[in-house]
Structure 1
Amino acid sequence: MLRKLLSYIIPIKIYKTKSTLSKTIEVTWANGELVLDSENTNYSYGSLQRILRRGLKHFGFERIAKMDHALVLGVAGGSVIKTLVDEIHFEGQITGVDIDPNIIKIANEYFKLDEIKNLNIIIDDAFEFVLKTKDRYDLIIIDIFQDTTMPNFLFEKFFTNRICFLLKSKGVVLFNTMCLTAGDNFRNQNFVKGLSDDNYKIQSIPRVEVHNELIIIEKLN
């Protein structure tokens, strides 16, 4: 409790470890809440939770609460999963996919992710998982970073087509991206243009928490 109170004055680091994918992973008390950070950015809770909550509000919490199956690609500390369960009261199946077993261990220990009964965590590469899965999803959340870097496959047409194929009728995709340079902005513009399809509604929500842009895909039938 003392750490929590002091964190309103100064962040208090309580755990730090090396990561092959993200250089460093830290658990910190900040402004009265536990957050998970990489070396240069927030990974879960804090600003990231606000970003993804903004995207989920775009669809409407009532709409999401009625869905049956959500897929989260990039779990980290699980803040968006906590939003689904605690705020939206989502009772359907949640499948979370993360490539790093160490970060899931941290999520279980510090953020109690393993206590969520309708959550199934799979340790796998997101690209490999979407190729193998035979399930279909009402909601797909893509939130994959290696520190401040986004893997190139996320913006490739083949991956996007596969993601859209996995959507049920009227399903939605929430894709969190980071725009730090003019090149990142250009990448996102080209990505959105390349998604033009009469079967989907495509939108972007720019400058969420300064450096993030949310890309929204809605299947129309």
Structure 2
Amino acid sequence: MKFSSIFFPKIIADFKSDINKNIQVVQKRGRKVIYVDGAEQTGGTITGMWQKALSNVKSSRLSGIPQAAGQMSNVQNALVLGLGGGDIIRLLHRVDSQIKVTAVDIDPVMIKIARDLFGIRNSSNLKIHNHDALYYLLLNREKFSLIVVDLFIGYKNPQKFRSPRFLNLLQKSRQKNGLILFNSHYHSDFNNEFEEFHNLCTQIFSTVEIIINYPYSKILLLK
């Protein structure tokens, strides 16, 4: 590893996408990081954020949710909505390499980046689908023990993924004791927007807990 790649970010590749517009892959502190229109999508702080979220569930450091204790060890199949560079998939398979993961991403360019630059490709324990997440859930009949929602264009979740229709489809797609982790965009200047989404979640799910607070996103546990 070169000294310069540790201390000075280096652009590895630029991509144009009809979905995500401008995508950059940058070598930063020895790791590959994906940026979409300047917003970090994979690697760096995003990896740490998801690592912390999954660790919180695994070690049951969740107030008021005794059902979540040890839940990660019981995950047999997981649905990941929003592939990026595959951070979530790598972290799940680090917990248990036998977890059957279904990943869905609407952007074929992002799927290609994940495959060619991050080594994320179809295998016996990973099936990647190039679909819109809402369309996929409409057709889906499988029930998942864990659903992870990480659907962003730039800094924000598209509005259709914050709708009652989408949240109800998530609810129908989880197993009886399954968990949903939803990465919601957040900005302190628009706190009311997040509060409205949080309130909507409470109308659909019996358990809604903020388990991760980051400056521009909050991860909700839904059950």
TM-score higher than 0.5 = yes
Q: TM-score, length-normalised on structure 1?
A: 0.89
Tell me the CA shift for residue 196 of structure 1.
Answer: 2.7
Q: For 1:179 and 1:67, locate their aligned partners in 2 and report how far apart those are by CA, in whole Å.
A: 28
Q: Which moved more, 1:132-141 or 1:154-163?
A: 154-163
Question: Residues 57, 194 of structure 1: CA spacing in aligned structure 2 closer, same or farther, 3 A cutoff?
Answer: same
- Unmatched runs of 5 consecutive residues or more in structure 2: 60-69
Contact residue 144 and residue 150 of structure 1 kept, 8 A: yes
Aligned match of 2:39 in 33, 41, 46? 41
1:42-67 per-position Cα deviation (integer Å, ceiling 9, x unaligned) = 11121111112222122116531321
Counterpart secondary structure, 2:111 = helix
Q: Which moved more, 1:119-128 or 1:171-180?
A: 171-180
- Unmatched runs of 5 consecutive residues or more in structure 1: none
Which residue does 1:67 correspond to in 2? 75
Report the AA paired with residue 212 of structure 1.
Answer: S
Report the AA paired with residue 149 of structure 2.
Answer: I
Report the AA paired with residue 173 of structure 1.
Answer: I
Question: Residues 165, 95 of structure 1: CA spacing in aligned structure 2 closer, same or farther, 3 A cutoff?
Answer: same
Counterpart secondary structure, 1:27 = strand
Question: Residues 27, 162 of structure 1: CA spacing in aligned structure 2 closer, same or farther, 3 A cutoff?
Answer: same
Question: Residues 198, 78 of structure 1: CA spacing in aligned structure 2 closer, same or farther, 3 A cutoff?
Answer: closer
Contact residue 92 and residue 99 of structure 2 kept, 8 A: no
Q: For 1:12 and 1:188, locate their aligned partners in 2 and report how far apart those are by CA, in whole Å.
A: 34
Tell me the CA shift for residue 140 of structure 1.
Answer: 0.5
Which residue does 1:133 correspond to in 2? 140
Q: For 2:48 and 2:219, locate their aligned partners in 1 and report how far apart those are by CA, in whole Å.
A: 12
Aligned match of 1:177 in 179, 184, 197? 184
Which residue does 1:154 correspond to in 2? 161
Contact residue 23 and residue 147 of structure 1 kept, 8 A: no
Q: TM-score, length-normalised on structure 2?
A: 0.88
Report the AA paired with residue 81 of structure 1.
Answer: I
Question: Residues 135, 201 of structure 1: CA spacing in aligned structure 2 closer, same or farther, 3 A cutoff?
Answer: same
Which residue does 2:16 correspond to in 1? 18
Q: Which moved more, 1:15-24 or 1:124-133?
A: 15-24
Which residue does 1:114 correspond to in 2? 121
Which residue does 1:82 correspond to in 2? 90
Which residue does 2:201 correspond to in 1? 195
Report the AA paired with residue 51 of structure 2.
Answer: R
1:116-141 per-position Cα deviation (integer Å, ceiling 9, x unaligned) = 54110000000100110010000000
| Identity rate, percent | 25
Question: Residues 142, 75 of structure 1: CA spacing in aligned structure 2 closer, same or farther, 3 A cutoff?
Answer: same
Q: Hey, which bits of structure 1, 4+ residues long, moved more than 3 A?
A: none
Question: Residues 186, 116 of structure 1: CA spacing in aligned structure 2 closer, same or farther, 3 A cutoff?
Answer: farther
Tell me the CA shift for residue 115 of structure 1.
Answer: 6.5
